């Protein structure tokens, strides 16, 4: 169903896989999240990845947050990261906040970090934890 021609069926499939929380669907969801031609389907797959709860997808979600052209996809990736591990995701989301051009996306990213004054603290943490995060991502299985 994830590769069906119907956009609605692909979204429904991603939602169903999220409800099952089965890690074996992760490679398929990652492919859809990265390559589907409909942003609504990409966002559904990213949401499913966050709901499944496997932290090994953090590097892939980080890459999507940093490299996707669509701001909705970037925000969905940041949301998934925050659901999986806010402590690991916060410095990365804070870095994206500095790079983000979309006002709406910036607003959403701040929401993931908590009150806007908290985002400044997270930015300071980003540089100090960069080495630790690099090591974590280099050990991840799903990159």
| DSSP for 2-60, written as a single string | TT-S-HHHHHHHHHHHHHHT-GGGHHHHHHHHHH-S-HHHHHHHHHHHHHHT-GGGHHH
Contact present, 124 and 108 (Cβ < 8 Å): no
**pLDDT of 136:** 67
- Averaged pLDDT in 10-residue chunks for the chain of 143 residues: 90 96 95 96 97 96 96 96 87 83 82 58 48 64 55
**pLDDT of 122:** 53
**pLDDT of 26:** 97
**pLDDT of 138:** 73
Q: For the chain, how many helices (H) and strands (E)?
A: 8, 0
**pLDDT of 142:** 57
**pLDDT of 20:** 95
Instruction: Please tell me the pTM assigned to this model.
Output: 0.78
Dist. CA 53–CA 68, nearest whole Å:
22
């Amino acid at each position: 169903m994830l590769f069906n021609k119907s956009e609605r069926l692909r979204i429904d499939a991603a939602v169903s896989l999220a409800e099952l929380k089965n890690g074996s669907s992760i490679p398929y969801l990652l492919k859809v999240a990265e390559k589907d031609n409909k942003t609504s389907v990409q966002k559904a797959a990213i949401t499913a990845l966050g709901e499944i709860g496997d932290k090994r997808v953090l590097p892939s979600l980080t890459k999507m947050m940093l490299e996707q052209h669509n701001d909705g996809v970037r925000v969905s990736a940041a949301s998934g990261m925050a659901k999986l591990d806010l402590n690991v995701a916060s410095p990365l989301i804070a870095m994206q906040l500095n790079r983000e051009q979309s006002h709406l996306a910036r607003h959403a990213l701040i929401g993931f970090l908590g009150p806007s004054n908290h985002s400044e603290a997270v930015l300071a943490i980003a540089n100090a934890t960069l080495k630790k995060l690099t090591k974590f991502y280099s050990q991840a299985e799903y990159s």
